[in-house]
């Protein structure tokens, strides 16, 4: 007999009781803030589809990171928007490209901020795909060499971690080898292991000016219908030397996150992507939902599902809420 002996509400009826039995605690340490850096100075160009986010120049990036650091956010991930794009994404691995310059500026001004550099070519190629294209197809193996060069350029500039997101087979191994050869054996790799071909990246592609000019990313990113395949992606990346693995997007993929977290011997990150953020912001602007409560609920759910860390555009907002 369950009721009336058992009453689940006994532990819910006071704030202290609820706090005492709370299973998941979101903390500022769980958050990684994604930031967009472009050429120029004094730049803060608002991204229309991502309220609260801007394209920054290296100097304003430093100013913004100072605010984040004061809020307790310890880590950022950088995405670069170059002035010039070309067929092979040269600015993505140029030693004086926008991301290496941003890293140097950040590390000089705020040496204690943990800087992660996203490693991909879609922001740097004129066709908007994540690697080398021939006859309309993305060539896997020639792309690996360029991703390795990009990772090394970012490590040389002072990146604390690199995060390959191109979904090229073998990218983690290639980057590990390239880093080790150049003396960066201690630079960890956060692999976007289970990255889906998702419509939730729409606002990011606006922000990073990286939408593919033809076709889509379905030949290299995962089919949203697949779960078992994600486990294999994770397994392969760990074999190749990934220090952490990521599931992306997060919200529509919490089942994947849980399964990966159950099996993964390495820490698991989740990317609460641009579209997930924009949906909340748009509805909150209309007054249809309470944006702050929704953000907290979403991030708590992502952590409850198994994420050790969360990449999120809500980072600052949530850091402020947590500080209250
Ligand atoms: C680069 C990359 C993308 C995102 C992170 N790294 C875009 C894509 O794959 O098209 C998306 C992040 C977001 O939507 O917030 N490959």
Segment 95-152, tens digit of pLDDT: 999 999 999 999 999 999 999 999 999 999 999 999 999 998 999 999 999 999 999 9
Nearest ligand 1 atom to the CA of 211 is 10
Is 213 in contact with 127 (CB distance < 8 Å)?
A: yes
How many whole angstroms from 282 Cα to the centroid of ligand 1?
20
How many whole angstroms from 269 Cα to the centroid of ligand 1?
15
Q: Mutation test of ligand 1: which of 204, 277, 278 has the most ligand atoms closer than 8 Å to its C-beta?
A: 204
Q: pTM for this one?
A: 0.97
Nearest ligand 1 atom to the CA of 79 is 6
Fold of 25-323: TIM Barrel (3.20.20)
Which residue in the list 195, 281, 286, 303 is annotated as catalytic? 195
Q: Is 281 a catalytic residue?
A: no
pLDDT of residue 271: 98
Give the rounded distance of the alpha carbon of 220 from its chain centre: 18
How many whole angstroms from 8 Cα to the centroid of ligand 1?
42
233 backbone dihedrals φ, ψ, rounded to 5°: -60, -45
Q: How many CA atoms lie within 13 A of 264 on its CB side?
A: 31
> CA-to-CA distance for 121 and 87, rounded, in angstroms?
10
Is 41 in contact with 80 (CB distance < 8 Å)?
A: no
ω into 225 cis (within 30 of 0): no
Nearest CA to ligand 1 atom 2: 165
Q: Is 195 a catalytic residue?
A: yes
Map tokens 């050429």 to a residue. Answer: 39
Is 137 in contact with 219 (CB distance < 8 Å)?
A: yes
pLDDT of residue 175: 98
Residues facing 199 on adjacent strands: none
DSSP string, 57-72: -HHHHHHHHHHHHHTT
How many whole angstroms from 276 Cα to the centroid of ligand 1?
12
Map tokens 């990150």 to a residue. Answer: 269
Instruction: List the pLDDT tens digit at each of the 324 positions of the chain.
Output: 799 999 999 999 999 999 999 999 999 999 999 999 999 999 999 999 999 999 999 999 999 999 999 999 999 999 999 999 999 999 999 999 999 999 999 999 999 999 999 999 999 999 999 999 999 899 999 999 999 999 999 999 999 999 999 999 999 999 999 999 999 999 999 999 999 999 999 999 989 989 999 999 999 999 999 999 999 999 999 999 999 999 999 999 999 999 999 999 999 999 999 999 999 999 999 999 999 999 999 999 999 999 999 999 999 999 999 999
């Amino acid at each position: 007999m369950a009721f009336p002996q058992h009453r689940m509400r006994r532990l819910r009826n006071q704030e202290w009781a609820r706090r005492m039995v709370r299973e998941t605690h979101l903390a500022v340490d769980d958050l990684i803030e994604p930031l967009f850096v472009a050429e120029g100075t004094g730049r803060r160009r608002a991204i229309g589809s991502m309220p609260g986010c801007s394209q920054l120049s290296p100097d304003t990036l430093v100013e913004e990171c100072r605010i984040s650091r004061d809020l307790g956010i310890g880590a950022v991930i950088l995405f670069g928007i170059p002035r010039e794009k070309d067929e092979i994404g040269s600015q993505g691995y140029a030693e004086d490209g926008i991301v290496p310059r941003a890293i140097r500026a950040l590390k000089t001004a705020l040496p204690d901020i943990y800087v992660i550099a996203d490693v991909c070519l879609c922001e740097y190629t004129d066709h908007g795909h994540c690697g080398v294209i021939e006859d309309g197809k993305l060539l896997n193996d020639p792309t690996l060499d360029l991703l390795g060069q990009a990772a090394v350029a970012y490590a040389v500039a002072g990146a604390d971690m690199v995060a390959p997101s191109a979904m090229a087979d073998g990218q983690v191994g290639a980057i590990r080898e390239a880093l080790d050869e150049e003396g960066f054996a201690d630079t960890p790799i956060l692999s976007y292991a289970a990255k889906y071909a998702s419509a939730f990246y729409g606002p990011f592609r606006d922000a990073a000016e990286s939408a593919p000019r033809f076709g889509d990313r379905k030949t290299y990113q995962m089919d949203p219908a697949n779960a078992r395949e994600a486990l294999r992606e994770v397994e392969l990346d760990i074999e190749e030397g990934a220090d952490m693995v990521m599931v992306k997007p997060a919200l529509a993929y919490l089942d994947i996150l849980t399964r990966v977290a159950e099996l993964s011997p390495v820490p698991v990150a989740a990317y609460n992507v641009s579209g997930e953020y924009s949906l909340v912001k748009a509805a909150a602007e209309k007054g249809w939902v309470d944006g702050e409560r929704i953000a907290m609920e979403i991030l708590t759910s992502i952590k409850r599902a198994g994420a050790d860390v969360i990449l999120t555009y809500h980072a600052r907002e949530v850091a402020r809420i947590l500080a209250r």
